[in-house]
Structure formats: structure tokens, C-alpha cells
Amino acid sequence: MPDQVRVKICGLSTPEGVAAAVGAGARYVGFTFFAKSPRHVEATTAAKLAAQVPPGIAKVALTVNATDAELDHLVATVPLDMLQLHGSETPERVTEIRARHGLPVMKALGVAEADDLAQIDRYASVADQLLIDAKPPRGAELPGGNGLAFDWRLLADRKYWTRPWMLAGGLNPGNVAEAVRMTGALQVDVSSGVESAPGVKDPEAIAAFVAAATA
């Protein structure tokens, strides 16, 4: 019997969205700290949302090339279980952040073609988890959360990377089961695929996504 797939719902910004993710059985909830994002939340808002999350569900802060001062503020304000680094942080920066904050770090890595997989081994030795996401299109405003999938065949037979990893990018209730089947992913992450409009989470879509991913 394979392990049950663990789901992360990212970009939550309201009590209703958090309740929907928790109620559906998500194992991770993500808060986005990136001012240009329609999912951006202030640290004080995230702290209130985090208080709604029962023990056992990991509260993840998504940041993009955040400074030490920005991370210090986040970690001091929000009760977090993990930092997700979604910018161009180097392996050395990942190591620094991990040491400074004492929290597990998940590094997001963009994939569009086979050559993009080479970076994964470099980060696997420094990050606690990896988020394998679609590479954002050239000139995109957002480095993630664009609802774009990559060619999942690139990940066939990759289920034995040395670190836990999540599949992300363009997943939705209709395609997540196939994505899991093709990649062997044991964890999946979604944001725009469970929204009714950019930044607006849809509780029914969240429930449908978790059900499809864990079926």
C-alpha cells in the first residue's frame, strides 16, 4: 500500500481558506509574503491565520529572496514550522537561513526542461525539502503561483531523491491524480488551481483537490 499523498495548500489569506484546507485534510498550509502577489499577507494577518491551524499541520512561509531582517520579523511574528524559499537563493543562502532560524527550509526549484534537473542535487544536500515547480515564463511578474505545469515525464522515476520533495505548478483537482501517477510524487502543492480568481481560494476546489490527490 503506497503512502498517502500529503497536500500543501499555498497562498492562504483568509480564515475561510485556512478552515477549508484544514477541513479537507491538507498537511501543510502556506502563507505568501511577496508584495506583488495577489496572495500576499502581512505577518500580523498570517499570525492570526496560523492560530487557527491545529498541531500536526505545518505552517509554511513562502518568501522570495528575503533579507535577514525580513525573515527575522516573520519568524518573530508568525508561529511557523517551515520556510519556503521561492527566489534565486543560492545553496549557501539556504544553509545560512536554516542555521539562523532553526526552521526546516524547503527550496523551490523551477523546471522547464531536462537540464533544469541538475540543480536539484546541489540543493538536496542543503535543504530539508525541495519543491519542484514549473519555471516561471520569461518576464513573469511572479516567480511562482502562475498556474503553469511543466512536463511531468521529466520526473518519471525520480521518486527516490535523497530529500522529501513536493510536486507543484499548474496542479488542479482535475489533473493532480495523473500528476501523482506519472511522477510518483508523495507530496503535492497547489495555489492557483484551487482559486476562483487570483488570490481567492475556493473551498470546494480545495476539498476536491485533496480528495483527488489522496484517493
Ligand X SMILES: O=C(O)c1ccccc1NCC(=O)[C@H](O)[C@H](O)COP(=O)(O)O
Nearer to ligand X, 145 or 173 (CB): 145
Select the span of 12-20, 114-122, 152-160, 188-196 touching ligand X (CB under 6 A).
Answer: 188-196
Among 6, 39, 59, 107, binds ligand X (CB under 6 A): 39
By the rule CB under 6 A, 62 interacts with ligand X:
yes
Q: Which residues contact 159 (CB under 8 A, 6 or more apart)?
A: 183, 184, 185, 186
Q: Which residues contact 1 (CB under 8 A, 6 or more apart)?
A: none
Residue 133 a catalytic site member: yes
Catalytic, out of 72, 116, 133, 151? 133
Nearer to ligand X, 53 or 84 (CB): 84
Q: Which residues contact 182 (CB under 8 A, 6 or more apart)?
A: 152, 153, 155, 156
**Binders of ligand X among 104-163, rule CB under 6 A?**
131, 133, 142-147
Select the span of 88-96, 112-120, 186-194, 204-212 touching ligand X (CB under 6 A).
Answer: 186-194
Residue 10 a catalytic site member: yes
The alpha carbon of 17 is separated from its chain's Cα centroid by a whole number of angstroms, namely 15
In a 13 Å sphere around the CA of 198, the CA atoms on its Cβ side amount to: 9
